[in-house]
């Protein structure tokens, strides 16, 4: 039996995408058939990070992708596909919604809600040249990794033979994936350092091979490690 589901609620291409003005925090929509897809053109602020999440009724699961104008849609890897995050490079950014192929045997129209969060501009530079300097023998610092392309780099002045320690809070989740971290020198050399879990923190220690400016590069390739982290930098006793 045929059932008229009415007109398509949102476009399925970037040319017919539903335009959402800057400041939009949520939108309600529906999946009429298992192969339906909806595309939204979100007004954004260039340089800001955004997070988009989807909730849908029943036993269906959303899949989200995003793309800058002129680019291909991409998934975040290694995490929940009902969430996507990006750093805006232009005044608009596209969000693509479809369903996980494992749909229920008995199909009913799925009603879903998209939530949009403006996470603000980058908190730390992505390179040693734009890094946030650390000063003193001990310092607390907060970092925020907005998407899987974001790097937060912190810099410090090191003395040859001196040991340094960088730690961040350990985040509990099933995968136990934490932020990636590496020490780096001004010539591009990278040093993973010694990694350990100490109580509620992961800790990396490093001995500077030469004196000079070094950086601490923080990033992640998994959605579960995105977001804010409390971290600590210490110059260790000889």
Q: CB atoms < 10 A from the CB of 171, how many?
A: 15
pLDDT at 104: 67
191 has which bridge partners? 183
The Cα–Cα gap between 42 and 24 comes to 8
pLDDT at 1: 44
Handedness of CA 109, 94, 142, 214 (dihedral sign): positive
Looking only at Cα atoms, what is the longest distance across the chain? 80
CA angle 208, 149, 112 (to 5 degrees): 145
- The dihedral region occupied by 155, where left means phi > 0, alpha psi between -120 and 50, and beta the remainder, is beta
Q: How confident is the model at residue 4 (pLDDT cuts 50, 70, 90)?
A: very low
Phi, psi of 225 (to 5 degrees): -100, 5
Structure tokens at 81: 């596909």
> Does residue 102 surpass a pLDDT of 80?
no
Q: How confident is the model at residue 7 (pLDDT cuts 50, 70, 90)?
A: low
Please choose, from the candidates 56, 65, 67, 1, the residue with its C-alpha nearest in 3D space to the C-alpha of residue 34: 56
Domain annotation for the chain: domains and CATH numbers:
18-121 (2.60.120.380), 128-235 (2.60.120.380)
Stronger pLDDT, 191 or 106, i.e. the higher one: 191
The whole-model pTM stands at 0.75
pLDDT at 238: 78
pLDDT at 196: 94
Please choose, from the candidates 25, 24, 20, 54, the residue with its C-alpha nearest in 3D space to the C-alpha of residue 40: 20
Q: Which of 4-8, 87-91, 224-228 is predicted most confidently? A: 87-91
Q: Which of 5-9, 60-64, 109-113, 130-134 is predicted most confidently? A: 130-134
pLDDT at 175: 80
pLDDT, tens digit, 9 for 90 and up, residues 154-210: 999 999 999 999 999 998 888 888 999 999 999 999 998 899 999 999 999 999 999
> Does residue 37 surpass a pLDDT of 60?
yes
> Does residue 78 surpass a pLDDT of 60?
no
């Amino acid at each position: 039996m045929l059932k008229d589901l009415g007109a398509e609620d949102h476009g399925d291409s970037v040319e017919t995408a539903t335009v959402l003005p800057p400041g939009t925090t949520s939108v309600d929509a529906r999946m009429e058939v298992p192969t339906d897809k909806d595309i939204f053109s979100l007004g954004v602020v260039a340089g800001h990070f955004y997070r988009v999440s989807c909730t849908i009724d029943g036993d269906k699961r959303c899949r989200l992708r995003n793309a800058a104008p002129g680019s291909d849609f991409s998934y975040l890897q290694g995490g929940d596909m009902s969430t996507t995050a990006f750093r805006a490079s232009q005044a608009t950014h596209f969000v693509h919604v479809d369903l996980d192929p494992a749909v229920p045997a008995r199909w009913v129209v799925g009603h879903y809600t998209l939530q949009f969060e403006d996470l603000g501009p980058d908190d730390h530079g992505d390179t040693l040249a734009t890094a946030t300097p650390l000063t003193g023998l001990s310092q607390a610092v907060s970092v925020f990794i907005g998407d899987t392309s974001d790097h937060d780099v912190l810099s410090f002045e090191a003395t040859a033979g001196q040991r340094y320690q960088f730690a961040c809070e350990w985040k509990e989740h099933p995968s136990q994936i934490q932020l990636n971290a590496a020490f780096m020198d001004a010539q591009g050399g990278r040093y993973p350092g010694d990694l350990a879990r100490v109580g509620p923190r992961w800790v990396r220690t490093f001995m500077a091979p030469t004196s000079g400016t070094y950086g601490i590069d923080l990033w992640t390739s998994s959605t579960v490690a995105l977001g804010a982290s409390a971290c600590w930098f210490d110059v260790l006793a000889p």
